[in-house]
């Protein structure tokens, strides 16, 4: 709060004098973190040194006496001189009556997200955690005889606060520990938790990833393109959901007619996807990496359904578009870890391979950002794909996938596949697979 005290004092004095913002909202984040990397087998070298840092960032909304508003971001150094900071904000004011939203006091969920042990790692350079995780990653590289490996380990302790002129004051502390390692420049594993990651857990995950890396390095010589079972890895599913589903349930896109859906479809009996498909927000599980307490605007986190049994339930609405669409605000996810997908009894990954018999496992895709999210169509490169032959994984394929993701979610034959170590399921469907001749 110390960095904000001069600004808060000025806002209070200006408001009493009628010469400053008549309403305001401040959301700020402060953090401490540690980070160390590996570049081409070299730990903490010149390209990936051990780094300890602190940071602060402010997001603000001011409404002036003429009704105009100012929005933007500020750093600690600018807040040391609040008079010019406020004057610059005023010069950038613009008219947007629906954008002047300032939350009143409300109850916030009590969701624990802070680990004392993880905070110690964040403030100490990962003194007891980083070296064991790096050793695990290096040990797997040696065991699989990989020539190169790279990645990083990080820990952070963060505090988020929101304060409004209407009396809302909320604070939430959280921690995170993460790693990301990849081998031979092909693939690997990344993981994030609120608490320190145990080396045996990391070793199990990385070992599974290394098997995929080895397979990707051996091209599948007899692969034939065509229509076949396609199994999307959980990470790829998350990318598809973000590009095609989350983008289309954003209130701003719906209001401006840029979404595949209309606002009257939300809460209606119309099924837009298969009746077994649901997607929900789960932000309130203690110490879960996808949990959070409130949004930037001070909207409390709460569990809810975006899609329920194939029907659109809730759009994602910030305060502005909740007002414009005449609905209550609805928080969005902070990451894919905030989401839950469900659709029948999921298959195990080995069972899914047996059911597919001949097909592909897609580990990554390129070019989703170039697709039209409102139509659901995709034609994308999938350079990290493995052939499935006789119900078992084979070698690498430089594939091209074409289809329509909305049709995938409507298909009653869509299968959900549980991958060990991943919350998001894989998706198994029948699709068109070609060969990328340019790769």
Q: How confident is the model at residue 321 (pLDDT cuts 50, 70, 90)?
A: very high
Q: Are 49 and 36 in contact (CB under 8 A)?
A: yes
Backbone angles phi, psi at 311, to 5 degrees: -100, 145
Question: Which among 400, 410, 406 is positioned nearest to 377, based on CA atoms?
Answer: 406
What is the pLDDT, as a whole number, of residue 1?
58
Distance CA 148, CA 41 (A): 6
pLDDT beyond 60 at 439: no
Span 295-312, mean pLDDT? 98
Tell me which of 316 and 79 has the higher pLDDT.
316
Tally Cβ neighbours within 10 Å of residue 198: 14
Distance CA 74, CA 59 (A): 7
Query: pLDDT > 70: what percent of the chain?
Result: 99
Span 144-151, mean pLDDT? 96
Q: Which of 46-50, 116-120, 246-250 has the lowest mean pLDDT?
A: 46-50
Burial of 123 (0-12, 13-18, 19+ CB in 10 A): middle
What confidence tens digit (pLDDT) does each residue in 59-74 have?
Answer: 999 999 999 999 999 9
So where are the chain's domains?
Answer: 2-213, 218-439
Question: Which among 335, 334, 35 is positioned nearest to 178, based on CA atoms?
Answer: 35
What is the pLDDT, as a whole number, of residue 365?
97
Distance CA 45, CA 66 (A): 55
CA 103 to chain centre: 25
What is the pLDDT, as a whole number, of residue 44?
75
Q: Is 141 helix (H, G, I), strand (E, B) or coil?
A: helix
Tally Cβ neighbours within 10 Å of residue 84: 9
What is the pLDDT, as a whole number, of residue 43?
83
Q: Which two tokens stand for residue 69?
A: 């508003």
pLDDT beyond 70 at 323: yes
Query: pLDDT > 90: what percent of the chain?
Result: 92
Distance CA 150, CA 182 (A): 6
Q: How confident is the model at residue 359 (pLDDT cuts 50, 70, 90)?
A: very high
CATH class given for the domain over 2-213: alpha beta
Span 102-112, mean pLDDT? 97
Q: Which two tokens stand for residue 236?
A: 């790829």
Strand partners, 305: 280
Tell me which of 439 and 86 has the higher pLDDT.
86
* Mean pLDDT rounded to a whole number for the chain: 95
User: Which residue's entry shows tokens 């594939």?
Assistant: 399
What confidence tens digit (pLDDT) does each residue in 26-53 have?
Answer: 999 999 999 999 998 888 777 889 999 9
Span 211-238, mean pLDDT? 96
Burial of 372 (0-12, 13-18, 19+ CB in 10 A): exposed
Run of H or E residues at 66: none
Distance CA 66, CA 87 (A): 15
How much is the pTM?
A: 0.94
pLDDT beyond 90 at 2: no
Question: Which among 356, 110, 384 is positioned nearest to 231, based on CA atoms?
Answer: 356
pLDDT beyond 80 at 438: no
Could you tell me which residues come within 8 angstroms of residue 200 by beta carbon, excluding any fewer than 6 positions away?
A: none
């Amino acid at each position: 709060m110390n960095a904000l005290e001069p600004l808060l004092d000025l806002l209070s004095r200006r408001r009493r004098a009628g010469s400053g913002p008549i309403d305001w909202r401040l959301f700020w984040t402060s953090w401490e973190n540690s980070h160390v990397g590996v570049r081409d087998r070299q730990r903490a070298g010149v390209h990936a040194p051990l780094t300890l840092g602190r940071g602060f960032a402010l997001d603000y909304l001011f409404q002036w006496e003429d009704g105009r508003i100012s929005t933007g971001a500020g750093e600690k150094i600018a807040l040391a001189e609040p008079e010019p900071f406020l004057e610059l904000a005023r010069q950038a004011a613009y008219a947007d009556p629906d954008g002047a939203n300032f939350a009143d006091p409300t109850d916030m969920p009590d969701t624990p997200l802070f680990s004392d042990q993880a905070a110690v790692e964040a403030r100490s350079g990962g003194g007891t955690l980083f070296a064991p995780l790096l050793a695990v990653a290096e040990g797997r590289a040696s065991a699989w005889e990989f020539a190169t490996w790279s990645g990083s380990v990080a820990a952070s302790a963060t505090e988020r606060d929101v304060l409004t002129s209407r009396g809302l004051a909320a604070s939430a502390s959280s921690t995170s520990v993460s790693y990301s390692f990849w081998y031979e420049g092909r693939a690997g594993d990344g993981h994030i938790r609120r608490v320190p990651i145990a080396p045996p857990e990391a070793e199990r995950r990385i070992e599974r990833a290394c098997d995929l890396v080895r397979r990707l390095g051996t091209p599948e010589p007899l692969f034939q393109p065509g229509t076949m079972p396609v199994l999307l890895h959980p990470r790829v599913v998350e990318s598809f959901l973000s590009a095609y589903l989350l983008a289309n349930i954003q209130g701003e896109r719906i209001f401006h007619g840029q979404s595949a859906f209309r606002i009257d479809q939300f809460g209606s009996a119309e099924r837009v996807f298969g009746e077994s498909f649901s997607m929900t927000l789960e932000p309130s599980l203690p110490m879960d990496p996808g949990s959070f307490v409130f949004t930037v605007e001070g909207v409390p986190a709460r569990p809810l359904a975006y899609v329920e049994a194939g029907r659109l339930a809730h759009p994602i609405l910030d305060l502005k578009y909740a007002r414009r669409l005449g609905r209550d605000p609805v928080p969005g996810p902070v990451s894919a870890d905030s989401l839950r997908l469900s659709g029948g009894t999921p298959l195990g990954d080995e069972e899914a391979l047996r059911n597919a018999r001949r097909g592909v496992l897609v580990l990554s895709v390129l070019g989703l950002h170039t697709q039209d999210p409102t139509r659901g169509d995709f034609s994308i490169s999938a350079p990290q794909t493995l052939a499935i032959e006789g119900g078992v994984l084979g070698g690498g394929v430089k594939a091209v996938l074409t289809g329509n993701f909305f049709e995938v979610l409507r298909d009653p034959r869509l299968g959900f596949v549980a991958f060990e170590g991943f919350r998001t399921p894989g998706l198994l469907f029948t699709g068109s697979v070609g060969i990328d001749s340019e790769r």
